[in-house]
Structure 1
Amino acid sequence: MMATLEHTNFTVRDPKASAAWMQKVFDWKTRWEGPAIAGGYTVHVGSAHTYLALYAPDDPKPLSESSYDIVGGLNHVGVLVEDIDATEEKVRKAGFKPHNHADYEPGRRFYFRDDNGIEFEVVQYD
């Protein structure tokens, strides 16, 4: 059996708020939430098989540099959708600004940054 990515974990200011917009935009569900390491709080949001673990420490610090310049930095999260146009409308309604649209082999894509500065790439394959 080929390995499958099960989850990724990253730090956000407010895990519940981030999970809420992801539920609206991507139709994801909260799988679990509760207290986490070092007095923090985590929300797991996604599907039955894959999810994002959204963690907030007790005292979160803002990112001060581009992740593309830092070894181990989170550059973007790629999300595969069935209807990129409908998803883009949901992204706009959530208050985010899509950018860097492209048609490429084998599909279409755009990017946006959430209120934590995390970049998401939305992809639809033909």
Structure 2
Amino acid sequence: MPKGQIEHANLTVTDPDRSAALFEKLLDWHERWRGPAMLGGETIHVGDERTYLALYTNSDASGGYAKGVPLNHVGLLVDDLDAAEKVVIEAGLKPFSHADYEPGRRFYFFDWDGIEFEVVSYG
């Protein structure tokens, strides 16, 4: 049976540079690639050697997504939840729904475009 993992998620954002800077600081990631998207617009790939977020924008990107449309949230795993929360707050974003249940502690935040993220730590 095949074994796999999520390799990337492609998210439409209004300011890919701002979003990339957040994930670089929050997850100790780096910019893997940037350039024109196949169907117009621009994309930045930010991540590590195995996983990344493709942060796409074009002239129609408006943000303001409704919760759960089209996805509920993106989960991010960190080794230091308290330090991660400080990064989110320093970016001007508001953590909420703090919880501690198996398999770890977590909080959520919405980015500037209304995309929800869950940040979890198993440590």
> Shared fold by TM > 0.5?
yes
Structure 2: 5+ residue stretches without partners: none
Q: Which residue of 2 aligns with 1:109?
A: 106
Q: Does 1:33 align with 2:30?
A: no
Alignment of 1:11-22 (within 5 A): 11-22=12-23
CA 1:89–1:64: 2 relative to 1, 3 Å: closer
The answer (yes or no) to whether the contact 1:25–1:94 under 8 Å persists in 2 is: no
Structure with the bigger percentage of helix: 1
TM-superposed deviation, 1:23: 1.1
Q: Does 1:86 align with 2:83?
A: yes
TM-superposed deviation, 1:78: 0.4
CA 1:64–1:9: 2 relative to 1, 3 Å: closer
Alignment of 1:35-50 (within 5 A): 35-50=36-51
Q: Which residue of 1 aligns with 2:71?
A: 74
Task: Name the amino acid aligned to 1:61.
Answer: S
Question: Over aligned residues, Cα RMSD in angstroms?
Answer: 1.5
TM-superposed deviation, 1:63: 4.2
Identity %: 56
SS in 2 for 1:33: strand
CA 1:89–1:65: 2 relative to 1, 3 Å: closer
CA distance in 2, matches of 1:101, 1:29: 27
Q: Which residue of 2 aligns with 1:7?
A: 8
CA distance in 2, matches of 1:47, 1:87: 17
The normalised TM-score by structure 1 is 0.89
Task: Name the amino acid aligned to 1:97.
Answer: K
CA distance in 1, matches of 2:100, 2:89: 20
Q: Which residue of 2 aligns with 1:53?
A: 54
The normalised TM-score by structure 2 is 0.91
Structure 1: 5+ residue stretches without partners: none
Q: Which residue of 1 aligns with 2:120?
A: 123
